[in-house]
Structure 1
Amino acid sequence: MKTFFFKFSIIFSVTLFFSCSSDDDGGTLLLDDPILMVSDLIEIIPENQEVAMVVAQFAVTQENLTTPLIFEILKVSRAGAVTVNNQGQLLVGDATAFDFERRETISGEIQVSSGDLVQTASFTLNLTDEVEDAVPFITRWNLVAGDLTVQLPLYEGLANDPTEYNFLVDWGDGSPEGLVTSFDDPDAQHTYFFEGVQTVTITGILKGFNFGENLTSRNLIVDVAQWGDVQIGNGGGYFAFCENLVGFSATDTPILKEVTNMDEMFRLAVSFTGDLSNWDVSNVTSMSSMFLDAFSFDSDISDWDVSNVTTMGGMFLGAFNFNSDISNWDVSNVTNMASMFSGFLAPTRSMKFNQDISKWDVSNVTSMSGMFAAAVNFNQDLSNWDVSSVTTMRSMFFRARDFNQDLSNWDVSNVTDMTLMFAGSTNISFVPTMFNQDISNWDVSSVMTMEGMFAENRAFNSDISGWDVSNVTNMRIMFENATNFSQNLSNWNTDNVTDCENFANGSGLSAEQIPINGICF
């Protein structure tokens, strides 16, 4: 283990005395303004550091300061990886973060202050690889009567998801080790004689471990005790359908630096409650349906770096127990949030999610279709969201029972589909939606379908008489059973509407308030 020493350079000012003219009574001391500067930092660091080891030193320039320097971490790519002291030294906070196989860089930003003076600087620690012994991948499987065979979930790779196998497997029952060199190697399967939990230890190259690709033993795996050197691949669905997987007892984390696809990773892993807080997902671009119907999941993923993710469609769809704080996620690159918090796939259960996501940057999102559909408890402030890029809000708040927030300033000028957007339901499992906010200023001139937009909404009665609906073609059941709605829509330009079946059936609209333009009305 190498030890690094750094020189902490602090430049002190020289106090200057200026002589005065003969007219002055004496000399005057002129003090310079205080100065504080800190330089960005880039260092090359060997992996496998020890906790509290000094790994880098910030260069600080200070002049005429009257209060001590205070350093703090503003952000870091791997939460807890480093700390900083008031001497400007970066120290190892979590030694497991300094693992080249899992990440090649640790980066972030610090702040240094003295009184009212504040400066920031970035840091990048480039890790170098060290020669190490192989670290085994250890899993546990619960064998039950009638199902005593474990089939490792190996599969044939593709160009965008290459696989590689060359490992020894110890099945944990005293039988000889097997050498596995291909996805269809017969040694990747083993039959036990007795029921109970067995520990399987794999040592060597394993790239591609995916129950979504190979379902055979999906209900037998119950734990990952150590991730070791395994690389799960890049196909998504890694632990999909693993109904008896409760969590991971491993204290290390998986190697994810080549993973961009986490689609359906825990789909229908209905018992899963594992700790994923330290996972490095910074290279992931797709999390579509990642926790789809993972009914039990509610773990802390607040520190995840999701800044490269572009699709979160269906990410928590049917994950009815999820209600963790993800308020600080950087979702600025996400384009698809369709059905992200939808409860449609858990109709007999109540979606718990109700977290503050008011500060999310959703300016690049184009689809919010079904985003909060049947998210019956969600009622957070979204008034400052920039939704100007969104083209579809179909079913966005459909059956979102409690939602009733101010959306008056939303720019919906690019939205073309508002089908069922604020609709409620007659289903006894749901109380009709409570939404009744002023959206009179919305620019809906691009919308082409408003089918069922306020159907079964028993609360809504906002004045939308001034809407430009000239491009709408479908107003079928738009206000059906919207019993409280009673606004005059007779001046709407509905010349392009071709379907207005049951437009106001069961609503509070009188005959005089219904549109009169076009062939449909």
Structure 2
Amino acid sequence: MFSQNEFITTWKTDNPGTSNSTSITIPTIGGGYNYDVDWDNDGNFDEIGITGNVTHDFNTSGTYTFSIRGTFPRIYFNNQGDRRKIISIDQWENNAWTSMDRAFSEASNLMGNATDTPDLSGVTSMRFMFGLATIFDQDISAWDTSTVTNMSYLFYNTSAFNNGGQPLSWNTSMVSDMSWMFNITTVFNQDISAWNTSNVTNFLGMFSRAQAFNQDIGGWNTAKATNMSSMFNGAWVFNQNISAWDTSKVTGMVSMFLGTGAFNNGGQPLTWNTSAVTNMLFMFWGAGGFNQDISAWNVEKATDFSSMFFNNTAFNNGGQPLSWNTIAATDLSNMFMN
């Protein structure tokens, strides 16, 4: 049983890193630190009043668990340093975090074993928090994310992440940026239908190459969205009805469904307001299952339609005439090429 009020982690010193094989370095960024470390986790704190990075030599290579208390606003691996040495988060306790931007990025041996939740009440950015943390897979649905505005790249290439097999029921009401959030999450397929996306403007690449994802997100509020380019690029199995989305402010749909072999909008017409879209380059490239009537789309502002339906052998506009006004088009090359 761990002591209260301490952030506790476990590290393996002889994993690859910038410190030697018997040492670890705790990575920080900026100021505002005043923390203590109990290096052998015996309840007696060995170093007091640390204000930045600290390196400790355990003298013998091995696996060590230690505690941090005091003011420790951020941990910041940022794809560098001893990111491969940290192997477990064991306890969050009440440490007041100020940012999770790139906190555990490329911590490729990190597992989540904590049974409590972090205090994220002062956090607005979770950008790249677990990006490239390739074995991380814990149910983190109890986290309070109500103040977070940026979740871009949060789970980028976390190839094992599936939220511990549980729905990911977060409060996302303040989030404006979800770009590349689940990019290359090869097994993630959990229910996120209840997310409040009413403030999200940027959906760029959100599910790009999310190869297992096929959840019903048709009820999302997308009224503020401006960018949906590459949103489902390479999301091979996704096939849900998203025709109710408000796309009236979206200007970019480049490669939105590129390579989505299964996508056919759940077998329903895709009746979107596309009046603001300027670029449809590669939009349905290789989307071999798509064949819905989209003749009612307003494409009068779109300039680039090149390769829009390239290699989409099934597309026949649902058997209806495609009577678009392409008055602004400057590039229609390879639009229907198979």
TM-score (norm 1): 0.60
What does residue 335 of structure 2 align with?
Answer: 478
Q: Distance in 2 between matches of 1:134 and 1:236?
A: 25
Which amino acid in the other structure matches residue 478 of structure 1? M
Spell out the pairing of 1:12-161 with structure 2 (5 A cutoff).
135-144=5-14, 147-156=21-30
Identity of aligned residues (%): 38
Q: Distance in 2 between matches of 1:305 and 1:404?
A: 29
Shift of 1:144: 2.0
Q: Secondary structure at the match of 2:70?
A: strand
Q: Distance in 2 between matches of 1:134 and 1:206?
A: 15
1:450 equivalent among 290, 305, 318: 305
Shift of 1:407: 3.9
What does residue 253 of structure 2 align with?
Answer: 393
Q: 1:167 and 2:35 equivalent?
A: yes
Q: Distance in 2 between matches of 1:235 and 1:328?
A: 23
Q: Distance in 2 between matches of 1:403 and 1:197?
A: 46
1:219 equivalent among 80, 84, 109: 84
Q: Distance in 1 between matches of 2:71 and 2:313?
A: 60
2:283 equivalent among 421, 427, 451: 421
Shift of 1:301: 5.0
Q: Distance in 2 between matches of 1:407 and 1:143?
A: 56
Shift of 1:464: 4.7
What does residue 369 of structure 1 align with?
Answer: 229
Q: Distance in 2 between matches of 1:231 and 1:321?
A: 31
Q: Distance in 1 between matches of 2:181 and 2:234?
A: 15
Q: Secondary structure at the match of 2:129?
A: coil
Shift of 1:352: 0.1
Q: Distance in 1 between matches of 2:313 and 2:270?
A: 20
What does residue 261 of structure 1 align with?
Answer: 125
Shift of 1:203: 2.1
Provide closer, same or farther for how the CA distance between residues 286 and 173 of structure 1 changes in structure 2, counting only shifts above 3 A. Answer: closer
Q: Distance in 1 between matches of 2:120 and 2:72?
A: 13
Q: 1:356 and 2:216 equivalent?
A: yes
Task: Note the aligned Cα RMSD (angstroms).
Answer: 2.0
Shift of 1:165: 1.8
Which amino acid in the other structure matches residue 447 of structure 1? A
Q: Secondary structure at the match of 2:33?
A: strand
Q: Would the aligned equivalents of 2:93 and 2:118 in 1 still touch at CA under 8 Å?
A: yes
Q: 1:324 and 2:190 equivalent?
A: yes
What does residue 64 of structure 2 align with?
Answer: 198
Provide closer, same or farther for how the CA distance between residues 290 and 173 of structure 1 changes in structure 2, counting only shifts above 3 A. Answer: closer
What does residue 162 of structure 2 align with?
Answer: 298
If asked which structure has higher relative contact order (CA below 8 Å, sep 6+), I would say 2
Which amino acid in the other structure matches residue 154 of structure 1? T
Q: Would the aligned equivalents of 2:23 and 2:59 in 1 still touch at CA under 8 Å?
A: no
Q: 1:311 and 2:156 equivalent?
A: no
Q: 1:382 and 2:242 equivalent?
A: yes
Q: Would the aligned equivalents of 2:96 and 2:121 in 1 still touch at CA under 8 Å?
A: no
Shift of 1:375: 0.2
What does residue 151 of structure 2 align with?
Answer: 287
Shift of 1:303: 2.1
Which amino acid in the other structure matches residue 222 of structure 1? I
Q: Distance in 1 between matches of 2:7 and 2:100?
A: 19
What does residue 204 of structure 2 align with?
Answer: 338
What does residue 290 of structure 2 align with?
Answer: 435
Q: Deviations over 1:437-483 (max 9, x none)?
A: 111111111111111100111111124541100101011221221xx
Q: Please say which structure displays the higher CA radius of gyration.
A: 1
Which amino acid in the other structure matches residue 136 of structure 1? E
2:47 equivalent among 178, 181, 200: 178
Q: Would the aligned equivalents of 2:184 and 2:211 in 1 still touch at CA under 8 Å?
A: yes
Provide closer, same or farther for how the CA distance between residues 173 and 285 of structure 1 changes in structure 2, counting only shifts above 3 A. Answer: closer
Which amino acid in the other structure matches residue 320 of structure 1? T
Shift of 1:368: 0.6
What does residue 263 of structure 2 align with?
Answer: 403
Q: Would the aligned equivalents of 2:71 and 2:95 in 1 still touch at CA under 8 Å?
A: yes
Shift of 1:226: 1.3
Q: Deviations over 1:499-518 (max 9, x none)?
A: xxxxxxxxxxxxxxxxxxxx
Which amino acid in the other structure matches residue 133 of structure 2? A
Gaps of 5+ in 1: 1-132, 157-162, 344-349, 425-431, 482-521
TM-score (norm 2): 0.91
Q: Secondary structure at the match of 1:354?
A: coil
Which amino acid in the other structure matches residue 397 of structure 1? F
Q: Deviations over 1:131-178 (max 9, x none)?
A: xx971111111222763211001122xxxxxx4222221211889811
Q: Would the aligned equivalents of 1:137 and 1:203 in 2 still touch at CA under 8 Å?
A: yes
What does residue 110 of structure 2 align with?
Answer: 245
Q: Distance in 2 between matches of 1:421 and 1:464?
A: 19
Gaps of 5+ in 2: none
